[in-house]
Amino acid sequence: MPESPSAPRRSRTALIWLTTALILVAGSVFWYVSGRLRHSDERLAAVTSQIESIAGSQSQLAEQLRRAMEATEQAREQALEAGARAEDSQRAAVEASMRAAIAQTTREMAERQAELTRQELEAIRAARVAELNRMQEALAKVAPARRTADGVVIDLSDSTFRFDFDKANLRQENRELLSRLAGILLASEGYRLQVYGHTDDIGDEQYNLGLSERRAKAVRDYLVECGIPAPMVEHKGMGKSSPRVDGNSTQARAQNRRVEIGVVDTVITYAGQTP
């Protein structure tokens, strides 16, 4: 049976409607998907903006943290410097206090030592005065002897200690007298002897000087023979340069012809001071 002419038309119509429907559906889907994509893009942009905002905030926080750390480090260094200065100041104060204490102790020790020195000097002075006084009293029993600021002087004048004319030899009585004097001197200590020879004003000056030198040496040598150490005894001739009394009478000349023995105290310096 032949096909009706209206059937193809209906098929084309249906196809058109189907195509139209598909197009509408596709358009709806496109617009829906596009809307969803636009919404996603907006959300993505918002999220990106939030991320960027958070990143900016984190950057600010990092900068603030860096500055805070720098301020903390600076404060720590300042604190360390302040502590070091305080420690140095405290150390300096302690050292100054120690120096002051040492100086005070040194002064006290020096004062104490000075006081002890003065006491020792006084004791030595008293002992030496007593020794020289005892020596002078003992010597005076043998020959005229007098105390001086430095010790004792033994006067061997022409009346008690006579040399032969123009001679320097010791007479026997002179030896006996010197032996007794040496015995007293040997019992003492802390002295040295100075023997001086003197002549009167008669004769040549140079000759008298030589004669007085020989007589002083004769006395000195005999004292050494008696046991007095040689380094402790010196001698010197004075000639007629140091008369005891003025004048040219017999009595004056007799007094000027003499030998003097100076007993000089050698304990005269102690701790830098002279008793």
- What domains can be seen in the chain, in order of their start residue? 67-275 (3.30.1330.60)
For residue 264, what pLDDT is reported? Answer: 92
For residue 54, what pLDDT is reported? Answer: 63
Q: Given pLDDT bands bounded at 50, 70 and 90, which one contains residue 52? A: low
Sheet holding 258-265, edge to edge: 145-147, 151-157, 258-265, 191-198, 233-239
Give the mean pLDDT of 173-183.
95
Q: Say which residues have a Cβ less than 8 Å from residue 197's Cβ, sequence separation at least 6.
A: 211, 212, 213, 214, 215, 216, 217, 219, 235, 236, 237, 238, 259
For residue 275, what pLDDT is reported? Answer: 44
Question: Comparing 42-51, 157-166, 173-182, 212-221, which segment has the lowest mean pLDDT?
Answer: 42-51
Output phi, psi for 196, to 5 deg: -120, 130
- Tens digit of pLDDT for each residue in 64-120? 778 877 877 887 788 778 777 777 777 788 788 778 878 887 887 787 777 767 787
For residue 79, what pLDDT is reported? Answer: 75
For residue 116, what pLDDT is reported? Answer: 63
